[in-house]
Homo-oligomer: A and B are copies of this chain.
């Protein structure tokens, strides 16, 4: 079941993005259409959701949270545009629509991605915050830059490319996911924290544990659905369609082992929420929604 707050925050984000893109569309007639195309292609908006939901819980204003919510989705979107390029994963479709380099061209897709990364930092540093000290803005910037780079998202994608057609260990697979997608999901709750008035490292720690476990559970579940989907739609025996060229949790742990791993991470995420002195019903519902999803 979708948590009640998810469509509300999704809608808020879409509105904010649309306003911002509209105000800037004349800045580059060559790039802005491609940037807007990819940013508004839909998606669950998991990262902005975490920014809004956690930030609100910690006492941040929604108007302030618009800045980091947009910034992290821009960073995520740029990474999808570049991951889809022919030299990377070479994907023609994303969310059922042509990928950026198919809808436009390769050079435009590279530049639109580059410009979206810059726009993420511009929005984060230029947002008209009402209740936020400059020190906290600097901390948001640090968190985003560090999650985006070689020791975060880009480094994870590099491992993913390097490990294709390779046997890798469980530890290496986990490191790849923790960098490639986990870093940005953890960053979402860090941005929420720095955007709030709270100064309590314990709370930041529990939130980060929650987000880390949630992000990894999402990946394990993704690998499981990749098999179960095939079983249902293609009638092949379970487990026969382990993707040959990429390591997956079921390939390393078996399907039951992967299911146990997903459940273990789900429980870890819930325990981290239990440690927070807040009403976390919505976040629990979100964790359930993310991990129990069957699409």
Binding site for B on A (CB under 8 A): 24, 27-28, 30-32, 35, 78-79, 82, 85, 87-88, 105-108, 110-111, 113-115, 117-119, 121-122, 124-126, 133-135, 137-138, 141-142, 144-146, 148-152, 154-155, 157-159, 161-162
Residues of B with C-beta under 8 A to A154: 28, 31, 111, 114-115, 118
Docked-complex contact B162 and A30, CB < 8 angstroms = yes
Nearest CB on B from A93, distance (A): 19
Residues of B with C-beta under 8 A to A114: 78-79, 82, 113-114, 117, 148, 154
- Per assembly, the copies of the chain total 2
30 A–B contact pairs at CB < 8 A? A28-B154, A28-B155, A30-B162, A31-B154, A31-B158, A78-B114, A79-B114, A82-B114, A85-B110, A87-B106, A87-B107, A87-B110, A108-B158, A108-B161, A111-B157, A113-B114, A114-B148, A114-B154, A115-B150, A117-B117, A118-B146, A119-B150, A121-B121, A121-B145, A122-B149, A125-B138, A125-B145, A126-B142, A134-B137, A134-B138
Docked-complex contact A115 and B24, CB < 8 angstroms = no
Residues of B with C-beta under 8 A to A107: 87-88, 161
Docked-complex contact B135 and A31, CB < 8 angstroms = no
Main secondary structure of the interface of A (DSSP, over half): helix
When chains A and B are docked, how far (Å) is the Cα of A147 from the Cα of B53? Answer: 32
Nearest CB on B from A288, distance (A): 33
- Which of B30, B124, B150 has a CB less than 8 Å from the CB of A35? B150
Nearest CB on B from A193, distance (A): 16
When chains A and B are docked, how far (Å) is the Cα of A157 from the Cα of B35? Answer: 15
- Which of B32, B82, B141, B148 has a CB less than 8 Å from the CB of A110? B82
Docked-complex contact B158 and A111, CB < 8 angstroms = yes
Docked-complex contact A28 and B122, CB < 8 angstroms = no
When chains A and B are docked, how far (Å) is the Cα of A115 from the Cα of B32? Answer: 22
